[in-house]
Amino acid sequence: MKKAGFTLIELLIVVVIIGVLAAIAIPKFAGSKQKAYVTAMKSDLRNLVGAQLNFMADSGKYTDDVSKLNFKQSTGVTAPVLTLFGRAYTATVTHTQAPGLVCAIAINTANPLVASANPGEAVCQ
């Protein structure tokens, strides 16, 4: 009588195949986390621009006090650092999970990270 089941060789082959697939997939997913952090920071900067425009419509000026804006940053993204230049400003943010990575946006002035960036474009370095 033959017993049903898998042999040791068959199980080892399956484990090796799973290991090879994992070795291929894990590096690809590691880069997607970094992209997600960058996307969160750029999104927050764009939302900050909208909040500043609303504040400008109400008060006639920009503010460097984030608490005066109807703005809440994403999880892990630091509070924006705003620098005013009259009717222009820059904002920079970082992410707690991406040390050394900074994103910035500039309105009516040059971007502090990439001077050649388009007006209102959020860039990261």
Q: Block means of pLDDT (10 residues each) for the chain, length 125 residues? A: 83 96 86 91 96 95 93 95 94 95 96 93 95
Contacts of 102 (CB under 8 A, 6+ apart): 92, 93, 94, 113, 124, 125
Give me the pLDDT at residue 20, please: 96
Give me the pLDDT at residue 2, please: 72
Give me the pLDDT at residue 8, please: 92
Give me the pLDDT at residue 5, please: 83
H/E stretch holding 103 reads strand 98-107
Cβ neighbours, 10 Å, residue 110: 14
Give me the pLDDT at residue 57, please: 95
Domain spans, the chain: 8-124
Give me the pLDDT at residue 1, please: 67
